[in-house]
Structure 1
Amino acid sequence: MKEAISDLTNNPSYAKIWHWIKLISITGTAQVAVQAIGFISGILVIRLLPTHEYALYTLANTMLGTMTTLADGGISTGVMAKGGKVWQDKQRLGEVLSTGFNLRKKFAVGSLCVALPILVYLLHHHDASWTMSVLIVLSLIPSFFASLSGTLLEIAPKLHQQVAPLQKIQVGVALSRLALLSLSIFTFPITFIAILSAGFPQLWANRQIRKISSAFADMGQPVNLTDQKDILFMVKRLLPESIYYCISGQLTIWLISIYGSTSGVAQAGALGRLPVAMTLFTVLFGSLVLPVFSRTPGIKAIVVQQYLKIQAGLVLLGIGIVGGVVIFSGPILSVLGPQYTSLTSELIIMMVGSTIGFIATSAFFLSSSRGWVMNPAISITVSIAATIIGVSIIDVSTLKGIFWLNIFTSIVHLVMHVAYGIHRIVTLKNDAN
């Protein structure tokens, strides 16, 4: 019996399976905690902020996502792809990261110049005073710069599958946000106070992540011009699509904020808090799946096997998420408060679209993690055409109609990105990256 157990534990396949069980258990447990705490924080904000304030909060957080996407422009994807080739060399990985940070600082300035005036206009459009608009803008800046640094700092630990320390930090950040919100929002139910409470803990987190990263990457390395050229090549491919997704990815909020009412913005924002499972699995995917796929040897048979397994898993996961929402839609909505309990069909339609969008985005990042980037002229043209066709056949004057539009465009994106990934695998030459 002992010999059988010894043979099993020494078996390479067993060791690999056990390694993945540990990774998924650690990441999954931590992320359940993070998302549960984050969900509680979100519910606090929804219930304690007045409807008008929550609408402003939704607009500000939507713009924060847009600013972060513009400032990244594909840099983190380029760093991940480049880092996946040199991940075992501490000096080279440090050069890649230093180059990424240098580029991101420059992109951040441009992002602020573009996004902040638009945010001020939208806030004023929804009856925010000029003083409140300025305070909201200023409160976003710590979160903006903290999120920019955090995504790059996490790359080295992720490539080395050191997920446990990262998960501990994320749990700490979530608890800190909840504590700050609990201390502040009961007394000051104001938008910019809620934003500051959410942003400051990430500054602490970045200092902790930098310590972890320093074990795998020499952060004092200078900018490498060759790495910069390679990263910028990916940015040139990804930035146009990033700009497009800044618009299309938040199409619900943009359409409601321009054509709808302030209460409509609040409803869209409240429902947007519910796809907790999507955030959980997005983090799991980015922490566990993407780095491994990025490091996969460039042998066609291995790559295609990995790709198909991942896609099949994503589809099964999506079916499970939507099924759970259909069954528990009533209790889910009741958590938001009485003003949102009538949005059952909107919730289900939104989750279908969010799930398809999650699978489509995952397919996109699978390709880009290996440096495969579709010509943006093709992807953006297809996306714009899908949006135009969708708007022409779907009534987007209601929240439900906008969610149906999201389903339509997400299906188009899914087909496009999966088809491109399969095309690149089919044309892959063995031992190429």
Structure 2
Amino acid sequence: MLRRRLTSWLRLLIEFGLSSGAAQAIGMISGLVYVRYMPVSDYALYALAATTLTFISLSSDLGLNSATTYFWRRSRSGGPAFGDCLAGIRRLRLLLFVGVGAIAAVIFPSVGARAHYDLGTLLIALGLVLASALALMSAGINLQVMRLFGWFRRSYLCDVAGQMMRVVAAALMVLGVSRSYWMALLGGLMCSTVTFAASRWMLRGQIRADHVAVPGLLRAIVQYVAPTAPAVLAFALQDSVILWLASRLGGPQVVAAVFAVGRISAIVGVLSAFSIVVIVPRLAGIADLKRFIVAGWIVKAALAVVGATIVLIALLMPGPILWLLGPQYARLDAELLIALTTAAITLVSTATILLNRAKGWVRLDPLIAVVQLALLLALAPWWDYTRPTSVLLLSLILSASLLLQALVISLLGPRQPGWVSART
């Protein structure tokens, strides 16, 4: 039995490395091409646009992606049909997208204008960001459903098909067709659109829905999301606010340097993707809660070892790593170490938070939001945004705080389930 399980996980790891891992690597390589070939001013604008895209994606989710996993587990235990739950989740996600998109449409041009970008340039970037966010949102829901079905290979194919569009944009940039911000953003839009189209085609006719009114279903979804929403929003805000402040007070050079070392951190993001793509959906199929909890702690310990190894590599050999970014960013040794330490912490916290939510342990999430926002409000007003090192250090502090709180909930869950479990 143990041998069969180890073989199964090894096969999943290999498949992930060859397919989804390859897709993430394509995105990372494309990102490094953007760093090397884009002018600093264009790259800084691309960084602001990409950060705004992340803000929209996270803020229009507010825990609904985790709700997909949670209600999938409930449907397998005699709950409402998964198709009906999924329809409610999609409806709420679209409403949130409209609201958050309107907020971004106000904030992004305002921040960009402070950095002396003209209105036409900012509106082009904003249009590409909003279109990308909508396609990314729809594709993300489809891919999560495919993973819950156990269709890992099919989800990888959709992801790779989309990421190839980033390769096209990067190749055009290398060839000198355009080295502007809009080429990189257009590559992101094509990536999200192709991924959505491919995943929708593969899922056609596969999701069962009873199409009958389920009393309290929408309320149950909202009750699950309500506690997670403040924490997700706080997480979405913290990195966006930091980069927006860096843009206003530090200028394009600081933003470009911070975002450039972030492209190296995308290497760790490949491993974080393994938690999202494989680990959590795979463990969600474990019906016995005690086994689920034990398996989760094993995963977290393994990810902590991996993260520590990555930090050690950054400490011992920063030069070869920074070479990937090009000569403009060759002296960012300290910045690289801080960025990869933050990524290592996020590697563990991502798995911890998603596993907690899959168990329905979300009641204390509003407290996490309060702590994170209080910490940000306490530090942000007097923080130094004129140096990349300082900007990255603030992200490190906030990420460490998030991990600590997630681990506390993991410890409380088995002992005091009433304190942490969702009311659905």
Taking structure 1 as the reference length, what is the TM-score of the superposition?
0.89
Distance 2:317 2:128 in 1: 36
Q: Which has the larger radius of gyration?
A: 1
The structural deviation recorded for 1:54 is 0.8
Between 251-260 and 280-289, report the one with greater CA deviation: 251-260
Distance 2:74 2:192 in 1: 29
**Deviations 1:82-131 (Å, cap 9, x if unpaired)?**
11222599992221221111111111110111111100111111111111
The list of structure 1 runs, each at least 4 consecutive aligned residues, that deviate by more than 6 angstroms after superposition, is 88-91
Is 2:286 the counterpart of 1:291? no
Q: Which runs of 5+ in 1 are unaligned?
A: 1-11
Distance 1:424 1:226, change over 3 A: same
- Out of 55, 71, 78, the residue aligned to residue 82 of structure 1 is 71
Equivalent residue for 1:178? 167
Distance 1:402 1:222 in 2: 51
1:246 alignment partner AA: A
SS in 2 for 1:217: coil
Q: Do the aligned partners of 1:372 and 1:424 also contact (CA within 8 Å) in 2? A: yes
Number of residue pairs the alignment of both structures matches: 419
Q: Do the aligned partners of 1:394 and 1:404 also contact (CA within 8 Å) in 2? A: no
Is 2:335 the counterpart of 1:373? no
Root mean square deviation of aligned Cα: 2.5
Q: Do the aligned partners of 1:56 and 1:191 also contact (CA within 8 Å) in 2? A: yes
Equivalent residue for 1:382? 371
Taking structure 2 as the reference length, what is the TM-score of the superposition?
0.91
Q: Do the aligned partners of 2:60 and 2:100 also contact (CA within 8 Å) in 1? A: yes
SS in 1 for 2:81: helix
2:266 alignment partner AA: V
Matches within 5 A, 1:350-365: 350-365=339-354
Distance 2:325 2:147 in 1: 34
Is 2:221 the counterpart of 1:258? no
The structural deviation recorded for 1:280 is 0.8
Identical-residue share of aligned pairs (%): 20
Q: Do the aligned partners of 1:157 and 1:216 also contact (CA within 8 Å) in 2? A: no
SS in 2 for 1:349: helix
**Deviations 1:174-213 (Å, cap 9, x if unpaired)?**
2222113323672222222321122113212212212333
Between 164-173 and 210-219, report the one with greater CA deviation: 210-219
The structural deviation recorded for 1:219 is 7.0
Matches within 5 A, 1:298-337: 298-300=288-290, 302-337=291-326
Distance 1:90 1:217 in 2: 15
Distance 2:78 2:204 in 1: 12
Equivalent residue for 1:135? 124
The structural deviation recorded for 1:351 is 0.9
SS in 2 for 1:297: coil
Distance 1:108 1:13 in 2: 44
The structural deviation recorded for 1:158 is 1.0
Equivalent residue for 1:3? none
The structural deviation recorded for 1:393 is 9.2
Distance 1:320 1:344 in 2: 17
1:275 alignment partner AA: S
Q: Do the aligned partners of 1:91 and 1:217 also contact (CA within 8 Å) in 2? A: no
Distance 1:50 1:345 in 2: 23
Q: Which runs of 5+ in 2 are unaligned?
A: none
Distance 1:138 1:390, change over 3 A: closer
Distance 1:229 1:325, change over 3 A: same
The structural deviation recorded for 1:55 is 0.6
Q: Do the aligned partners of 1:322 and 1:355 also contact (CA within 8 Å) in 2? A: yes
Matches within 5 A, 1:122-201: 122-183=111-172, 186-201=176-191
SS in 1 for 2:284: helix
The structural deviation recorded for 1:225 is 5.5
Equivalent residue for 2:13? 24
Distance 1:64 1:241, change over 3 A: same
SS in 2 for 1:250: helix
Equivalent residue for 1:231? 221
1:269 alignment partner AA: F
Is 2:200 the counterpart of 1:210? yes
Distance 1:43 1:307, change over 3 A: closer
Distance 1:229 1:247, change over 3 A: same
Distance 2:209 2:138 in 1: 13
